[in-house]
């Protein structure tokens, strides 16, 4: 299995290289040269596998000969053993043909643990083999930071720097990052928004001369393909429960950077019977504007009650565009870079192709709270605000459909109490392992929104580490 860049100027790379760099050197994102196909008989033989067993079968298709089967099996087993639910990703029925897939039973209570617990272990495996140190630099709108730090705080060969928008993540999210024990992890509060953080990260990656000799940066936000790979597994895990009835399921996905739903798109390409993929956005609705009007343009970022979806631009959309443009890297680059000047559009034919796979729905804060309230009243089940956008989008887009729709529950409601309280409901308690979070001591550094400030911080810190 080889990976190519969406910008077309990087030679094909192995999985190991892709994991260890994240962003391609030409500024593009790595995608598989060709998506592995899984025939129906093989898929059916996976039906009764436990989560880790299924993860092994799917992930080995993407890691290729970078890692021996027995090593991968051990890593995957250890990864999903830390999840608190024995099923790892339990499916919960709400109404008729309406389900939520609970992806919040990992250490930091969001779906990002599925990928980042794996990524930490894979990094350690490859870096130990090479006896090489790396610095991880990442931007987070909240959940990635803590999940990445939890995934890597034991890594011997990794130092980590996580940027997050100062005062724009929930208190629980901030504390989950700033209270993590581990001298190799650093929380950096940037005086800006998430896109500012992301821009600094991108610039640092394209100019790594500031790092000490021998070091390189690794990206762990969803531009790292290994994260997408890990997320494909739960689409299979959930949909396999319905294959007997020959029912194609739809998935509704609370979407920000388009990483999670792109994993669903790959699952569909692999052969999983998926009917529709529903993009749920909050009021930061660039993807909904594209799907509903064929207009892809920048608008002011607005803080919402579902902060992990507060983005102006969805980085992973580039991976989908590469496919939509039949791997024409020039067009991808023109579309993505042209966004800073003009509204971007695709041809009518391409737009129709996109609409044949994706539905979309924009859910504002008020409707999010209403949905939390409605679902609680109807089913005595508490949704977090991100998941609520997904449930609402599913109801809007699939009204009248007979096929099951599975809404990805991307976070535990206790992480986002503000929305729950606004919905008029009592704040849920944090699970036991985080019960004393509000009493733990915090450690973080506030930095101006500037590339130089971030570079200087990393330089100093790596000097101390040496």
Ligand X SMILES: *Cc1c(COP(=O)(O)O)cnc(C)c1O
| Binding window for ligand X (CB under 6 A); candidates: 71-79, 113-121, 198-206, 249-257 | 249-257
When asked if residue 229 is in the footprint of ligand X (CB under 6 A), the reply is no
283 is catalytic: no
Please report which helix (H) or strand (E) contains residue 462, including its range. Answer: helix 451-465
When asked if residue 119 is in the footprint of ligand X (CB under 6 A), the reply is no
For 454-464, give one letter per residue: b (16+ CB within 10 A) or e.
bbebbeeebee
| Binding window for ligand X (CB under 6 A); candidates: 129-137, 151-159, 256-264, 295-303 | 256-264
Q: Rounded to the nearest whole angstrom, what is the least distance from the CB of residue 211 to ligand X in the complex?
A: 27
| CA 222 – CA 228 distance, rounded (Å) | 7
Q: Rounded to the nearest whole angstrom, what is the least distance from the CB of residue 418 to ligand X in the complex?
A: 14
Instruction: Determine contact, residues 407/151, Cβ cutoff 8 Å.
Output: no
| CA 423 – CA 152 distance, rounded (Å) | 35
When asked if residue 308 is in the footprint of ligand X (CB under 6 A), the reply is yes
| Binding window for ligand X (CB under 6 A); candidates: 33-41, 255-263, 368-376, 421-429 | 255-263
When asked if residue 112 is in the footprint of ligand X (CB under 6 A), the reply is yes
| CA 397 – CA 252 distance, rounded (Å) | 9
When asked if residue 255 is in the footprint of ligand X (CB under 6 A), the reply is yes
Q: Which is nearer to ligand X, 6 or 410 (CB)?
A: 410
Q: Rounded to the nearest whole angstrom, what is the least distance from the CB of residue 410 to ligand X in the complex?
A: 3
Out of 124, 260, 310, 365, the only residue in the binding site for ligand X (CB under 6 A) is 260
| Binding window for ligand X (CB under 6 A); candidates: 128-136, 240-248, 254-262, 374-382 | 254-262
Q: Which is nearer to ligand X, 72 or 264 (CB)?
A: 264
When asked if residue 110 is in the footprint of ligand X (CB under 6 A), the reply is yes
For 306-323, give one letter per residue: b (16+ CB within 10 A) or e.
bbbbbbbbbbbbbbbbbb
| Binding window for ligand X (CB under 6 A); candidates: 250-258, 318-326, 347-355, 363-371 | 250-258
Q: Which of 67, 5, 60, 68 is nearest to 32 (CA)?
A: 5
Q: Rounded to the nearest whole angstrom, what is the least distance from the CB of residue 280 to ligand X in the complex?
A: 9
Q: How far is CA 129 from CA 16, 70, 121, 122, 153, in A?
A: 11, 16, 13, 11, 19
When asked if residue 148 is in the footprint of ligand X (CB under 6 A), the reply is no
Q: Which is nearer to ligand X, 67 or 397 (CB)?
A: 397
Q: How many residues bind ligand X (CB under 6 A)?
A: 16
Q: How would you class 57 by CB atoms within 10 Å of its CB: exposed for 0-12, middle for 13-18, buried for 19 or more?
A: middle
Q: Which of 317, 311, 361, 348 is nearest to 335 (CA)?
A: 317
241: number of Cβ within 10 Å: 16
When asked if residue 391 is in the footprint of ligand X (CB under 6 A), the reply is no
φ and ψ at 206, to 5 degrees? -85, 0
| CA 236 – CA 231 distance, rounded (Å) | 9
Q: Rounded to the nearest whole angstrom, what is the least distance from the CB of residue 213 to ligand X in the complex?
A: 34
Q: How far is CA 274 from CA 226, 248, 252, 341, in A?
A: 22, 5, 11, 36
Q: Rounded to the nearest whole angstrom, what is the least distance from the CB of residue 143 to ligand X in the complex?
A: 3
Pattern 400-419, ligand X, x by CB under 6 A: ----------xx--------
Instruction: Determine contact, residues 137/201, Cβ cutoff 8 Å.
Output: yes
When asked if residue 145 is in the footprint of ligand X (CB under 6 A), the reply is no
When asked if residue 386 is in the footprint of ligand X (CB under 6 A), the reply is yes
- Catalytic site residues? 112
**Binding interface with ligand X (CB under 6 A):** 110, 112, 143, 222, 254-260, 308-309, 386, 410-411
């Amino acid at each position: 299995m080889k990976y190519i860049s969406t910008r077309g100027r990087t030679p094909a790379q192995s999985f190991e290289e892709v994991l260890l760099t994240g962003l391609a050197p030409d500024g593009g994102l790595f995608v598989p040269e060709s998506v592995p196909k899984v025939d129906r008989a093989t898929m059916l033989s996976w039906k009764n596998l436990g989560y880790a067993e299924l993860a092994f079968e799917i992930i080995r298709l993407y890691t290729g000969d970078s890692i021996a089967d027995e090593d991968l099996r051990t890593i995957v087993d250890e990864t999903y053993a830390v999840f608190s639910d024995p099923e790892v990703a339990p499916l919960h029925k709400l109404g008729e043909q309406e389900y939520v897939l609970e992806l919040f039973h990992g250490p930091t209570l969001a779906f990002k643990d599925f990928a980042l617990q794996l990524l930490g272990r894979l990094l350690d495996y490859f870096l130990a083999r090479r006896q090489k140190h790396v610095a991880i630099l990442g931007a987070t709108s909240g959940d990635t930071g803590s999940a990445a730090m939890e995934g890597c705080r034991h890594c011997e060969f990794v130092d980590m720097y996580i940027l997050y928008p100062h005062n724009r993540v929930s208190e629980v999210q901030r504390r989950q990052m700033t209270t993590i024990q581990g001298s190799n992890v650093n929380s950096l509060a940037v005086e800006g928004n998430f896109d500012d953080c992301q821009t600094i990260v991108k610039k640092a990656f394209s100019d790594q001369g500031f790092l000490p000799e021998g070091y390189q940066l690794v990206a762990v936000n969803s531009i790292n393909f290994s994260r997408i790979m890990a997320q494909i597994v739960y689409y299979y895990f959930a949909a396999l429960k319905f294959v007997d009835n020959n029912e194609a399921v739809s998935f509704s996905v609370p979407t920000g950077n388009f990483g999670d739903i792109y994993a669903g798109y790959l699952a569909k390409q692999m052969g999983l019977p998926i009917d529709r993929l529903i993009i749920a956005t909050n009021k930061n609705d660039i993807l909904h504007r594209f799907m509903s009007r064929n207009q892809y343009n920048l608008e002011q970022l607005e803080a919402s009650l579902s902060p992990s979806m507060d983005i102006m631009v969805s980085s992973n959309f580039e991976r989908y565009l590469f496919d939509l443009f039949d791997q024409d890297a020039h067009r991808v680059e023109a579309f993505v870079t042209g966004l800073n000047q003009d509204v971007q559009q695709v041809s009518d034919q391409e737009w129709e192709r996109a609409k044949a796979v994706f539905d979309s729905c924009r859910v504002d804060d008020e409707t999010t709270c209403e949905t939390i309230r409605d679902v609680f009243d109807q089913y005595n089940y508490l949704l977090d605000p991100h998941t609520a956008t997904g449930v609402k989008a599913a109801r809007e887009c699939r009204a009248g459909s007979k096929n099951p729709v599975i809404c990805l529950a991307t976070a535990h409601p206790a992480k986002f109490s503000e929305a729950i309280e606004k919905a008029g409901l009592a704040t849920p308690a944090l699970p036991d392992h985080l019960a004393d979070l509000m009493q733990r001591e915090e450690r973080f550094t506030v930095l101006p929104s500037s590339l130089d400030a971030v570079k200087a911080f990393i330089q100093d810190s790596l000097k101390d580490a040496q």
